[in-house]
Amino acid sequence: MKINLIKPKKSKSLKNTYVVKVETMEGDADDYHNFKISTTDVNELREIIIGLTILLAAYPSGRGGYDDYCGSFYEKYVEEELFSNEGISDSIESFSVKFYDENGEDFNVEYEMDEEMQERIKNHDGLTEEEIVTMEFKKEEHA
């Protein structure tokens, strides 16, 4: 038996950059898609993690066809990236983070949320009271 060890591919364009890969699901698992959000700023990465975690928590049992995500985070990072079929956008299923170092080598990122992040997620920070109520109403409507 011959075994080849394959070195990870280096990125020529991504250096000192965090890349968040967001996995999405179309309909009732009709298809799966993904998109990426890149940043070189660790504080922006923090906001991205908080925002995606809030969106994941918005519909813990899955998003119904015409349920909507909302909020400034969604509008800034997600809205234009979600695959849409016949006016129904994908649901966010999960996300992962990689870091590309100064040589373009990628590393999986593990993170631990601090208390402030957890509190912001619990309080849906970044959403207005109206947006939180709208999401809660839509969840109940489709339960």
pLDDT > 80? residue 93: yes
The number of CA neighbours under 13 Å toward the Cβ of 133 is 3
pLDDT of residue 141: 44
Number of alpha helices (DSSP H) and beta strands (DSSP E) in the chain? 4, 6
- The more confident residue out of 79 and 126 is 79
Each residue of 42-64: pLDDT tens digit? 999 999 999 999 888 877 666 76
Mean pLDDT of the chain: 81
Please enumerate in sequence order all residues whose Cβ is within 8 A of that of 20, keeping only pairs 6 or more positions apart, or say none: 36, 37, 38, 39, 45, 48, 49, 52, 95, 96, 97
**pLDDT for 138:** 44
The confidence score (pLDDT) of residue 101 equals 93
Note the pTM of the prediction, 2 decimals: 0.78
CA 22, 92, 42 angle in degrees (round to 5)? 40
What pLDDT score does 133 carry?
Answer: 52
